[in-house]
């Protein structure tokens, strides 16, 4: 596959006569990206992902011509891919995935003509899918999903209108229940990550506006709490460099921190932002050392985050990258 430039120093004009690069010690951000074995399916965007144990399962999506049903498992222990049973529902993109108690779940999405609300369970022990209760909300795509303890959660997205409703799925009873809607803006193409059994939801777009509100859901209290905005909106200095609002990004959590990466607002990016829930602040980390992209998938296993697939305009990707958040950046590793 094409190898992309991995590092680019930012140069700024220091006089009208010449330019110079800033000292690396002043500009280098913490975090290192490592390129791993390419995704073994066809390049694609807008796929769904869930993790079970030390494996990530990536499936469905769009390759520029067709919507897809193939599913591939990535084993972090041996850096290897294996094709598993195809997703039995309609080929789709814009679906969501999550895992609960050793099983994966995939549903919603768009088949090219219709929004979808079917939901399916994957059992890795039998390598088989089984249909479960349809998603209780309206058929949609561009939603977010996460799991906490014994439940999976799906909300927001687009069904012809922007949405803000949320639903909890309980596998033990194969049932959905509506929970409190996110109190902020409606949105699609947002992100979610989980830290300490609380889910954080933000970014996305509604009626042409890139949303900057940021929320945390606590299933213990069944309530949402608003956090600081993710753009430079205050009179204080903490958010002066914030540029986190975006769509079609990825998110994951590692070591008690949340991460939002890629996607963009107007232009496609490869920047990475780290969220510290203890002080409700964001810090920029080393950018993905690969092409800027949107509609990728992101996940975390162990102490690493991962980004795979995605697209930039009409170019579709099949690369896989691992992120070590607290390592110093190294070129070409």
pLDDT at res. 1: 43
pLDDT at res. 25: 42
What the block records as the tokens of 166 is 């949320």
pLDDT at res. 27: 60
Give the number of residues written for the chain. 333
CA dist 333 and 328 (Å) reads 12
Kindly give the parts of the chain with pLDDT less than 70.
Answer: 1-27, 332
Q: Model's pTM, two decimal places?
A: 0.91
Contact in structure between 137 and 148 (CB atoms under 8 Å) = no
How far, in whole angstroms, is CA 326 from its chain's centroid?
Answer: 20
Query: Domain segments of the chain: what residues?
Result: 11-328
CA dist 320 and 47 (Å) reads 14
CA dist 43 and 315 (Å) reads 9
CA dist 32 and 148 (Å) reads 28
Contact in structure between 183 and 201 (CB atoms under 8 Å) = no
The domain over range 11-328 is classified in CATH as 3.40.50.620: no
pLDDT at res. 20: 39
What the block records as the tokens of 84 is 């598993």
pLDDT at res. 3: 41
pLDDT at res. 22: 40
């Amino acid at each position: 596959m094409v190898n992309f430039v991995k590092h680019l120093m930012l140069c700024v004009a220091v006089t009208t006569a010449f330019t110079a690069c800033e000292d690396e010690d002043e500009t280098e951000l913490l975090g290192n990206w490592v390129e791993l074995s390419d995704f073994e399916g066809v390049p694609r965007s807008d796929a769904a992902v869930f993790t079970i144990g030390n494996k990530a399962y990536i499936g469905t999506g769009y390759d520029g011509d067709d919507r897809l049903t193939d599913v591939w498992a990535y084993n972090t222990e041996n850096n290897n891919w294996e094709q598993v049973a195809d997703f039995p529902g309609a080929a789709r993109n814009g679906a969501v995935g999550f895992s609960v108690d050793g099983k994966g779940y995939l549903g919603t999405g768009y088949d090219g003509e219709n929004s979808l609300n079917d939901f399916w369970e994957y059992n890795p022990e039998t390598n088989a899918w089984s249909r479960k209760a349809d998603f209780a909300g309206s058929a949609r795509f561009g939603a977010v999903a996460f799991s906490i303890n014994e439940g999976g959660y799906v909300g927001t997205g687009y069904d012809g209108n922007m949405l803000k409703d949320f639903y909890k799925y309980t596998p033990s009873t194969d049932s959905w229940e509506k929970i409190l809607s996110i109190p902020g803006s409606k949105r699609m193409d947002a992100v979610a990550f989980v830290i300490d059994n609380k889910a954080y939801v933000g970014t996305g777009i509604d009626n042409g506006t890139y949303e900057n509100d940021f929320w945390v859901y606590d299933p213990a209290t069944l309530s949402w709490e608003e956090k600081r905005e993710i753009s430079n909106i205050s009179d204080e200095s903490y958010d002066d460099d914030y540029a986190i609002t975006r769509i079609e990004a990825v998110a994951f959590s590692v070591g008690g921190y949340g991460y939002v990466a890629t996607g963009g607002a107007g232009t496609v990016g490869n920047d990475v932002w780290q969220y510290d829930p203890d002080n409700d602040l964001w810090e920029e980390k080393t950018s993905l050392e690969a092409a800027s992209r949107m509609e990728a998938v992101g996940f975390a296993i162990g102490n690493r985050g991962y980004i795979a697939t995605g697209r930039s305009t009409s170019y579709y990707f099949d690369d896989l990258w691992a992120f070590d958040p607290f390592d110093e950046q190294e070129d070409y590793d």
